[in-house]
C-alpha cells in the first residue's frame, strides 16, 4: 500500500494551493522522484503549469503538460486525463477532487488541502477512501 501525505494549508485560495504545490514539486523532484501532477481539468493544469514557471525566479523545474511533445522527456508532468503509467520512482501530486484510478501504481502520493469548503469536503472523502483501501495516511498541518 502507498503512503498518502495530506498537506493541510490554513489558506482558502487556489493560488495558495498552487504555490504550495510548486514548493512540494521542487522538493519531490530534488529527492530524485519523477512527478505527475493530476488536475481536475486542462484549465487547472495550465494554471499549475504557469505557477511552476513563475514560482521562483532562481529555480527551474523541468515540466510539461501531458499533451505536449516534451511530456515524455521531462521528470514532471501535469495532466487531467487518465493517470499515466509511472516510470521509475514516480510520485503523484493529486490536485483533482477525487482519487483517480491507478493511484496504487505510484511510489508516493500527496494531497493538498486548503480551507475552501469545496476542497475540504472533497479531500475528507479522499482521506476516508484511502483509509478504507488500507493506505497509510499521514497528515501535515502547515502554519
By three-state DSSP, how is residue 27 classified?
Answer: helix
Q: Using 50, 70 and 90 to split pLDDT, how confident is the model at 86?
A: confident
Q: How many angstroms separate the most distant Cα atoms in the chain?
A: 42
- pLDDT 10s digits, 99-132: 999 998 998 999 999 999 999 999 999 999 999 9
Q: Return d(Cα 109, Cα 15) in angstroms, integer.
A: 21
Amino acid at each position: 500500500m502507498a503512503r498518502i501525505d495530506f498537506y493541510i494549508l490554513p489558506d482558502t485560495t487556489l493560488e495558495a494551493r498552487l504555490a504550495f504545490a510548486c514548493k512540494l514539486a521542487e522538493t519531490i523532484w530534488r529527492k530524485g522522484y519523477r512527478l505527475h501532477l493530476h488536475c481536475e481539468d486542462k484549465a487547472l493544469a495550465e494554471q499549475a503549469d504557469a505557477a511552476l514557471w513563475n514560482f521562483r525566479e532562481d529555480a527551474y523545474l523541468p515540466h510539461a503538460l501531458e499533451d505536449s511533445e516534451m511530456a515524455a522527456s521531462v521528470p514532471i508532468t501535469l495532466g487531467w486525463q487518465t493517470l499515466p503509467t509511472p516510470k521509475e520512482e514516480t510520485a503523484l501530486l493529486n490536485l483533482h477532487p477525487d482519487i483517480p484510478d491507478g493511484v496504487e501504481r505510484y511510489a508516493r502520493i500527496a494531497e493538498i488541502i486548503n480551507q475552501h469548503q469545496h476542497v475540504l469536503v472533497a479531500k475528507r472523502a479522499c482521506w476516508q477512501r484511502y483509509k478504507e483501501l488500507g493506505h497509510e495516511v499521514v497528515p501535515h498541518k502547515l502554519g
